[in-house]
Amino acid sequence: MDVKGTPRYLYWLFCQFELITCSYLMEPWEKVLFYSFNLALLGLLLYTAYVCLVLHASSAFQLLCGSPGAPRENSLSGVK
């Protein structure tokens, strides 16, 4: 049985997050403010990760092993 993903365990993890960041002590409107700020930051981070990493990954992939049969336009092409 997948204990890790059960709703109870997730709720407990959320409670730990609340305790560590002291949102347990905040009034409801403060909690809304704090969580929306956190979610916005998380969203931005994920977007940046998605855009940048994908870009870097595809260019790295191209450099290393992209199109082996394509003619190389460089100075060494004359050497056989």
Partner 1 sequence: LNHIVHNGGLYKRPFNEAFEETPMLVAVLTYVGYGVLTLFGYLRDFMRQWKIEKCQNATEREEQKDFVPLYQDFENFYNRNLYMRIRDSWNRPICSVPGAKVDMMERVSHDYNWTFTYTGRVIKGIINMGSYNYLGFAQKTGACQEAAAKVLSQYGAGVCSTRQEMGNLDKHEELEKLVARFLGVESAMAYGMGFATNSMNIPALVGKGCLILSDELNHASLVLGARLSGATIRIFKHNNMQSLEKLLKDAIVHGQPRTRRPWKKILILVEGIYSMEGSIVRLPEVIALKKKYKSYLYLDEAHSIGALGPSGRGVVEYFGLNPEDVDVMMGTFTKSFGAAGGYIGGKKELIDYLRTYSHSAAYATSMSPPVVEQIITSVKCIMGEDGTTVGEARVQQLAENTRYFRRRLKEMGFIIYGNEDSPVVPLMLYMPAKIGAFGREMLKRNIGVVVVGFPATPIIESRARFCLSAAHTKEMLDTALKEINEVGDLLQLKYSRRRLVPLLDRPFDETTYEETED
Task: By CB under 8 A, name the binding residues for partner 1.
Answer: 12, 15-16, 18-27, 30, 34
Nearer to partner 1 by Cβ, of 30 and 51: the residue is: 30
Other C-beta atoms lying within 10 Å of the C-beta of residue 18: 16
Q: How far is the CB of 12 from partner 1 (least distance, A)?
A: 8
Q: How far is the CB of 53 from partner 1 (least distance, A)?
A: 26
Q: Which of 46, 38, 43, 47 is nearest to 18 (CA)?
A: 38
Nearer to partner 1 by Cβ, of 28 and 78: the residue is: 28
